[in-house]
Chain A
Amino acid sequence: PKRFLHMLPPGPPQQPEAASHGGGSRAFSKKTLTWRLVGEAYSSQLPVDEQRFIFRLAFRMWSEVTPLHFQEDLGARGAAVDIKLGFGRGRHLGCPRVFDGSGQEFAHAWRLGDIHFDDDEHFTAPSSDAGLSLLKVAVHEIGHVLGLPHTYRTGSVMQPNYTPQGPAFELDWSDRKAIQKLYGVCEGSFDTAFDWVRKARGRHGEVTVSFSTYFFRNSWYWLYENRNNRTRYGDPIQILTGWRGVPTHVDAFVHIWTWRRDERYFFKGHQYWRYDSDKDQAHTEDEQGRRYPRPISEGFPGIPSPLDTAFYERRKQLVYFFKASSVFAFDVNRNRVLESYPKKMTEVFPGVEPRNHPLRSIDSAYYSYAHKSLFLLKGSSYWRVVNDRDQPRGPWLPPNGLFPKRSISEKWFDVCDVHTSTLR
């Protein structure tokens, strides 16, 4: 019983302002938290592996929208584990709060990281629509342990009463913003970002064009759903899973698209890969018999490597390659660098505001079809490039000028890492 003496439900919030908007208060100061389903408290209703799988998914769902990482820890001493989960009936696990049997109270969470589930309840796997979804209850209780209070907002996972889980149970916008109020938004640089353009034939044979937005970082990637202002549920995913043959830590992606050509290239180090969008894998050999990966110097003579990034300017049919503070304009039809290049990045993309420029070593030059603009990404910031639609409103704006920098997380929301152990 002593163990729980100091584990009372959340006391007066540490940050009074947190209480004022009822938003709860941050419970942990570190970024990676460990959790464990305690061995003496398995449920008797689901296979243990399924219980752990469901908890792993519940933690992952919070990790996909916060800077927090969660790692299952089966080895450390119990006291060292940040969040411990267990099932019990009636008087359970030394907890002062007795469960009441099936119905009414189904679980509770203690501020310092213990979550108890009443095993008299009928907990079920996400695929079932009977009973209480263990996933939904676990996400709710983890929300408490992280510092979120109850809310009566319809659709929130933090409602005190259980509402049957719809077909696609996910954290909605407001729950995301509530937890980000406590732990901040997700920041961080990307290896590259690009829109993948797909052509398809419509019902009447007309060609339709659609695009998907991707962010790549290290060995994983996200698809970003522009219309929903968030990444795809369940991302990030490992690059090797979704992009067969593409290496990790890519430097750049370029889609060369003219009337006669439709080629997609990934660049890393001194090499580049060509991607076969029909077969959805990297080419080992293309129709001209060229084998991949190839040295960049062979396919793009005059271009140095390794690169910082690159993008393809469709109207001029030029690939702009970025390295350090230089920009190289490569003519894809004459297969060579334009005579007047390389140039300084500050010359090609002058800052609209003094001393507000990435200057060198950008991470990505990303043309967004959703925003119809080119963005230079570096670290957690972006600079949007002046385009034709800006000019009428601001004739003084220099062509290809860079607007002052903004935070990437203000434009593309919830692009969050997860612990690598949950990427598999």
Chain B
Amino acid sequence: ETLFHSRDRSDLEPTPLRRAKPIADLHAAQRFLSKYGWAEGPLRMEAAPRGPSPEGPPQGPSGAALAAAVRRFQKVNALPASGKLDLATLATMNRPRCGVPDTRPLLQAAATSPGTPPAVPGPLPRAR
């Protein structure tokens, strides 16, 4: 039972509704895109940029892959497909939603997002 001491259980602390951490930065947005199947390959989790790095701005697929993922997400949500994490895009990411990923292929995206066990190869065993 949930612990209480008062006869009328008035000391039952209503569990403070945990609030989901708003998606407000690049890292959270990358997690979102990866978690819900918008990233075709694993989106490399970049550390937040710490000023200009010696080898110049980050190049290559991660920036482009991320922009492409954002663009795909923006298109289906009828947002300007800028590829940039603008406020409207972040607001859409924060709307109440179902936890099932939005697109195929599910397994790759699911396999890399944190907290999900590695993809089980082959047909799913029937026995629960």
Complex: A98 Cα to B103 Cα, angstroms: 20
User: In the complex, which residue of chain B has the Cβ closest to the Cβ of A44?
Assistant: B15
**Is the beta-carbon distance between B20 and A100 smaller than 8 angstroms?**
yes
Which residues of B40-94 are within 8 A (CB) of A?
Answer: 76-77, 92, 94
- Distance in Å: Cβ of A138 to nearest Cβ of chain B: 11
10 contacts between A and B (CB under 8 A): A6-B120, A9-B100, A11-B120, A100-B18, A103-B96, A104-B95, A105-B98, A141-B98, A161-B95, A162-B98
- A111 beta carbon closer than 8 Å to chain B: yes
- A12 beta carbon closer than 8 Å to chain B: yes
Q: A3-B128, A120-B17 are in contact. List 16 more A-B contacts (CB 8 A).
A: A10-B106, A11-B119, A11-B120, A96-B117, A97-B115, A98-B115, A100-B21, A101-B19, A103-B96, A105-B97, A106-B97, A108-B100, A137-B98, A149-B102, A162-B95, A162-B96
Which residues of A146-200 are within 8 A (CB) of B?
Answer: 149-150, 152, 160-162
> What residues on A are CB-neighbors of B92 within 8 Å?
161
**Is the beta-carbon distance between A103 and B20 smaller than 8 angstroms?**
yes
- B124 beta carbon closer than 8 Å to chain A: yes
Contacts between the two chains (Cβ within 8 Å), count: 129
> What residues on B are CB-neighbors of A239 within 8 Å?
none
Q: Knowing A1-B117, A96-B116, A97-B99 touch, does A19 contact B18 (C-beta < 8 A)? A: no
Secondary structure at chain B's binding surface: helix, strand, loop or mixed? loop
Q: Knowing A112-B124, A160-B102 touch, does A97 contact B116 (C-beta < 8 A)? A: yes
**Is the beta-carbon distance between B124 and A11 smaller than 8 angstroms?**
yes
Complex: A152 Cα to B107 Cα, angstroms: 21
> What residues on A are CB-neighbors of B15 within 8 Å?
44, 89
10 tightest Cβ-Cβ pairs between the two chains A and B:
A108-B99, A101-B18, A100-B20, A104-B20, A103-B20, A162-B96, A105-B99, A101-B20, A102-B17, A161-B95
**Among A109, A113, A161, contact of B97 (Cβ-Cβ < 8 Å):** A161
User: In the complex, which residue of chain A has the Cβ closest to the Cβ of B36?
Assistant: A160
In this complex, the member of B21, B22, B92, B97 whose beta carbon has the largest number of chain A beta carbons within 10 angstroms is B97
